[in-house]
């Protein structure tokens, strides 16, 4: 059986050490500044739940007609927090994060659904991510080859302590970030499960890699929406209770400051 390992990607070796032709800051020139804290979500229902809980209003900033990125944005009256739906997937998440960082954002949190790899997991379980398997394309354009990308330790510790203080039940473990969900194989599920990987999703390792490359903080918390049993996939469920818990995490993160 093929084994997991770092791979040489992209095609131009050592691309991560070269300078880009143009940067996010050139694209965002003239746009309004960004709050320091940004939450990324990928579900309209979760976005609306968090916005209501935190008293956030729908806004159009910072993206206007200039941007081809379709985002739905919320912010508080003090402009200390953005809640955004950047579009699913590693590339969209990293693109929007890089642009927001160029406008002043320093702390990013992904709140999303994920497939569960552990057969001991249940729908609605909460997982605080501690590292991410790099099985997407973005991270390999930014950093040398490696198996994992890592979130920011101080932000992870802050979230862990806050979630514990709030009495939340959660697990801490690795995730597997993959670009294309319909190519997740039985062999991969078995291999990652044997290595203690708890979840699979589409964004975390890209954001973690960008955070390391651009020197901003990044973290991710997931709720389980489906279980990847190699004998029978559970199908995706709406994790209503898990989303309520993610909304609580959003409140904890909103109070984070440098």
pLDDT, tens only, 18-41: 888 999 999 889 888 899 999 999
Per-residue confidence at 17, pLDDT binned at 50, 70, 90? confident
Phi, psi of 96 (to 5 degrees): -65, -40
At residue 36, the pLDDT reads 95
Checking if the pLDDT of 5 tops 70, the result is: no
- Alpha-carbon 221 to chain mean position: 8
Structurally, how many domains does the chain consist of? 1
Report yes or no on 231 lying in a domain: yes
Instruction: Name the pLDDT band for 221 (thresholds 50, 70, 90).
Output: very high
Answer yes or no: are the C-beta atoms of 84 and 96 closer than 8 Å: yes
Query: Any alpha helices (H) in the chain, and if so which ranges?
Result: 24-27, 44-54, 90-102, 138-142, 153-165, 186-194, 204-214, 240-254
Asked whether residue 15 is domain-assigned, the answer is: no
Which has the closest alpha carbon to 169: 126, 204, 114, 112? 126
Q: Please state the pTM of the whole predicted model.
A: 0.93
Quick check: is 214 in a domain? yes
Is 128 part of a structural domain of the chain?
Answer: yes
- Return left, alpha or beta for 38; rule: phi > 0 is left, psi -120 to 50 is alpha, else beta: beta
**Does residue 4 sit within a domain?**
no
How does the average pLDDT of the chain come out, rounded? Answer: 90
Q: Mark 75-110 as b/e (b = at least 16 C-beta within 10 Å).
A: bbeeeebbbbbbbebbbbbbbbbbbbbbbebbbbbb
Would 13 be classed as within a structural domain?
A: no
Cα(58)–Cα(63) distance, integer angstroms = 13
Residue 96 to residue 108: CA distance in whole angstroms: 11
Give the CA distances from residue 75 to residues 37, 52, 78, 96, 121, in Å, rounded to whole numbers and listed in that order. Answer: 10, 11, 8, 16, 34
CATH number at residue 42: 3.40.50.1580
Give residue 1's pLDDT.
39
| Span 36-62, pLDDT tens digits | 999 999 999 999 999 999 999 888 666
Please give the average per-residue pLDDT across 229-245, as a whole number.
88
Q: What is the pLDDT of residue 61?
A: 63
Within a domain: residue 8? no
> 67-114, pLDDT tens digit by residue?
544 456 888 777 899 999 988 999 999 999 999 999 999 999 999 999
Domain, as residue range, for 66: 26-254
What pLDDT is attached to residue 4? Answer: 58
Structural domain contains residue 1: no
Considering the chain, what percentage of its residues have pLDDT values greater than 70?
92
Q: pLDDT digit string (tens) for 186-213?
A: 999 999 999 999 999 999 999 999 999 9
Across 140-144, 150-154, 202-206, least confident range:
140-144
């Amino acid at each position: 059986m093929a084994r997991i390992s770092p791979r040489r990607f992209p095609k131009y070796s050592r691309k991560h050490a070269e300078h880009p032709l143009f940067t996010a800051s050139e694209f965002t020139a003239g746009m309004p500044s960004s709050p320091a804290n940004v939450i990324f979500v990928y579900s309209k229902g979760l976005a609306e739940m968090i916005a209501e809980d935190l008293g956030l209003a729908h806004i159009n900033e910072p993206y206007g007609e200039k941007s081809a990125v379709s985002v739905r944005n919320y912010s508080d009256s003090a402009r200390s927090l953005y809640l955004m739906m950047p579009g699913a997937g590693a590339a969209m998440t990293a693109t929007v994060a890089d642009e927001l960082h160029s406008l002043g954002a320093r702390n990013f949190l992904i709140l999303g659904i994920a497939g569960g790899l552990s057969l001991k997991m249940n729908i609605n379980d909460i997982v605080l991510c501690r590292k991410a398997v790099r099985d997407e394309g973005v991270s390999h354009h930014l950093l040398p080859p490696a198996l994992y990308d890592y979130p920011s330790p101080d932000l992870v510790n802050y979230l862990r302590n806050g979630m514990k203080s709030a009495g939340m039940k959660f697990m801490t473990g690795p995730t597997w970030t993959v670009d294309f969900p319909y190519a997740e194989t039985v062999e991969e599920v078995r291999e990652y499960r044997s290595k203690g990987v708890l979840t699979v999703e589409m964004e975390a390792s890209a954001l973690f890699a960008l955070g390391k490359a651009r020197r901003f903080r990044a973290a991710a918390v997931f709720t389980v929406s489906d279980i990847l049993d190699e004998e029978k996939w559970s199908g995706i469920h709406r994790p209503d209770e898990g989303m309520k818990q993610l909304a609580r995490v959003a409140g904890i993160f909103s109070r984070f400051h440098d």
